[in-house]
Chain A
Amino acid sequence: MRRSTRASSTASRLVRGWRLTASVGGTIVVGCVLVALFAPLIAPHDPIEIFSGQLRKPPSLRFLMGTDEVGRDILSRVMYGARVSLRVGLISVGIAAACGSALGLVAGYVGGWTDALVMRLVDIMLAFPGILLAIAIVAVLGPGIDNVMIAVGIEAIPVYVRTVRASTLSVKHNEFVLAAHAIGTPAGGIIWRHILPNVAAPIIVLATLGVGIAILTSAGLSFIGLGAQPPTPEWGSMLATGRTYVRDAPWIAAFPGLAIVIVVLGLNLLGDALREALDPRMRGFEG
């Protein structure tokens, strides 16, 4: 009796914790999306407008986050920066999820030499650690935010291939798949209509967490000068120019940096909440 009471109170605590994580993460992400969508309406100034005589001004009522090294409003640039970062995050995750899931589904369902070929390709891609593959791709395509998007997308493909392939392998021997095969449904139809819906959960979790990682990676590439080029308001490149003035005008680097941390934190919280909701085993030790 006591045991069951304790178990139910633990369960309700977990549900409460999960709801808190999900709602904090969700609020941050929705807030960021709204800022990005309505930046032209809510930003107090044009992000590339230069105010003469207003160089490196600290935060004030006129410029809530201060001005940068050439006299532009940092708040407006941070707001427009949300557009750039979210666009990069969503498109690169879109590239990774679409290509990775397609390859994973085909490799897992078809098997044989197709599977072997795809997995060897994935192994080769995984031999390039972390950001190195993205750097190598940008080196080939040339610096620029669009190329960074492609590079970050390609770099993330292997994770999707592996996860989706593993899920496909466990789903494809289920009776509903065998039944669909028996009534003559073509392989493409089986993959699209029967397997994909059943492997969608891990793809959604990976994609949510992936947007945060993509924003971090692309901001890092912009920080070292390989991504967005001036005067594009991009958080990584804003931080890079701000570092020259950290002693006298730390706000130039601080606000874009905080923007990155808050958005990625929101995406991580939301991704974790989704993962816990979709995979109850992740909910921790209740000793």
Chain B
Amino acid sequence: MAAYVLKRLALAVPALFGVSLLVFSMSHLVPGDPVAIMLGERATSADMARLRAQLGLDRPLHVQYLDFVGRALHGDLGTSIRTGRPVLQEIAEQFPATLVLTLAAVFLAAVVGVLTGTVAATSGRRLIGGAVMTFVLLGISTPTFFSGLLLIIVFSLYLSWLPVATGGGLAPLVLPSVALGAPAAAVLARVTRSSLLEELRKDYVRTAFAKGLRLDGVVVRHVWKNAMIPVVTILGLQFGGLMAGAVIVESVFARQGLGRYTVNAINARDFPQIQGTVLVVAVAYLFVNLLVDVFYAALDPRIKYR
């Protein structure tokens, strides 16, 4: 197992290198002079020279890149042009809210998705199967910013059951995580259904039926474990997507988090802030994928020996 984890870690290195290269290039790929764009039209040439020196843009590219990576490895993601504060510190303040929202949405998506997918696959009734597949289609076709607004209208404004974003406890988390998690739940329901259907065709299932086990016993004791491998993979992939999708949901619910921070940074063309956020989310995503790989190597022992 340790060898497998090490191998997987080694595979993450080129991806990390690529991510760092792309994030570094962002401020250099801007059409025109990035410093002029960051400072706006009223900047003097002295201001521009000062910012260029502050960002190190007057040095050769490879020196700038090595410096960028070296500083990032030491936890220095630069200083925000807008606020003058260290970017990592700002991200650390915003990250927990986004992480909590993402985790709540992942949890919700996993529970709802796996259960509805199982019901759709095992229910002999066409009505139930049809209802679940309608939920799946609506889930993947409805944008989070629209379902979020509908949830606010119904549950906050008309029924007054749940707050939009204010207040403590778990209540303000419910609506945003439902809005964020619904498309992922729909995708998981679909994957669970097709994965279960594939497993149900296999010989060991026929044997289990032949020895007199009932459908629910076969599914819970035999099929689920095998059918969950693709589900876990998709869940891992969804995690990163949900963290990025939180940008929009946070904006719908006016929640604090990386989402609003990023949008403000883009509108202000504050590149250290933008680069810092993109880097942190991409690295978090790589880390989650690593965890998922390790987890399903534990779930499916065959993977370790490939």
Which residues of A come within 8 Å of B, CB atoms?
120-121, 123-124, 127-132, 135-136, 138-143, 212, 216, 219-220, 223-226, 236, 239-240, 242-243, 246-247, 250, 253, 257, 260-261, 264-265, 268-269, 282, 284-285, 287
A109–chain B nearest beta-carbon distance, Å? 24
Once bound together, how far apart are the Cα atoms of A129 and B252, in whole Å? 20
With A124-B15, A265-B137, A269-B137 in contact, do A135 and B244 touch (Cβ < 8 Å)? yes
Interface: B251 (CB within 8 A): yes
Q: Which residue of B259, B274, B286 contacts A136 across the interface (Cβ within 8 Å)?
A: B274
Within the complex, what minimum Cβ distance (angstroms) separates B200 from chain A? 6
Residues on the A chain within 8 Å of B121, using CB:
285
Alpha-carbon gap, A246 to B155, bound state (A): 13
CB distance from B290 to the nearest CB of A (A): 11
The answer to whether A216 touches B137, judged by C-beta atoms less than 8 angstroms apart, is no
Report yes or no: A123 in contact with B138, Cβ–Cβ below 8 A.
no
Set of chain B residues within 8 Å of A128, measured between Cβ atoms = 19, 22, 244, 278, 281-282, 285
Contact of B244 among A124, A132, A236 (CB under 8 A): A132
Q: Tell me if A130 and B141 are in contact (CB < 8 A).
A: no
Segment of B52-60, B79-87, B106-114, B144-152 in the binding face: B144-152
| Given contact pairs A123-B14, A123-B15, A127-B15, A135 touches B145 in the complex (Cβ within 8 A) | no
A–B complex contacts, Cβ < 8 Å, 19 sampled: A128-B278, A128-B282, A129-B240, A129-B243, A130-B245, A131-B244, A131-B245, A132-B240, A135-B278, A136-B274, A140-B30, A142-B30, A239-B146, A243-B252, A257-B150, A260-B146, A265-B137, A268-B140, A268-B141
A129 and B282 form a contact (CB under 8 A): yes
Contacts of A257 in B (CB 8 A): 143, 146, 149-150
> How far apart are the CA atoms of A239 and B252 in the complex, in Å?
10
B55 to chain A, nearest CB (A): 15
Distance in angstroms from A226 CB to nearest chain B CB is 6
B147 CB to closest chain A CB (Å) equals 9
Pick from A135, A216, A243: contact of B143, CB below 8 A: A216
Which residues of B sit under 8 angstroms from A143, Cβ to Cβ? 266-267
Judge if B248 is at the interface, Cβ distance under 8 Å.
Answer: yes
Nearest Cβ on chain B to A269's Cβ, whole angstroms: 7
Return B126 CB to nearest CB of chain A, in Å. Answer: 9
Q: Name the CB-closest residue of B to A120.
A: B14
Overall SS of chain B's interface: helix
B247 within 8 A of A: yes
Q: Which residues of A contact B138 (CB under 8 A)?
A: 261, 265
Q: How far is the CA of A268 from the CA of B186 in the complex (A)?
A: 13
Taking A130-B244, A143-B267, A239-B149 as known contacts, 11 extra A-B pairs with beta carbons closer than 8 A to each other, sorted by chain A number, are A123-B18, A124-B22, A128-B278, A130-B240, A130-B242, A142-B37, A223-B252, A226-B266, A246-B153, A246-B157, A264-B141
A132 to chain B, nearest CB (A): 4
User: How far apart sit A109 and B306, CA to CA, in the bound complex (Å)?
Assistant: 25
- The distance in angstroms between the C-alpha atoms of A284 and B197, with both chains bound, is 7
When distances are taken between beta carbons in the complex, the residues of chain B under 8 Å from A284 are 194, 197
Which B residues lie within 8 Å of A130 (CB)?
240-245
Return chain A residues, CB-CB under 8 Å to B62.
none
User: With A123-B15, A136-B278, A143-B266 given, is the CB distance from A129 to B285 under 8 Å?
Assistant: yes
**Which residue of chain A lies nearest to B27 when distances are taken between CB atoms in the complex?**
A140
Which among B146, B267, B278 is the interface contact of A261 at CB below 8 angstroms? Answer: B146
Chain A, residue nearest B251 (CB): A224
A250 to B145, CA, bound (A): 14
Contact with A along B10-23 (1 / 0, CB 8 A): 00001110110111
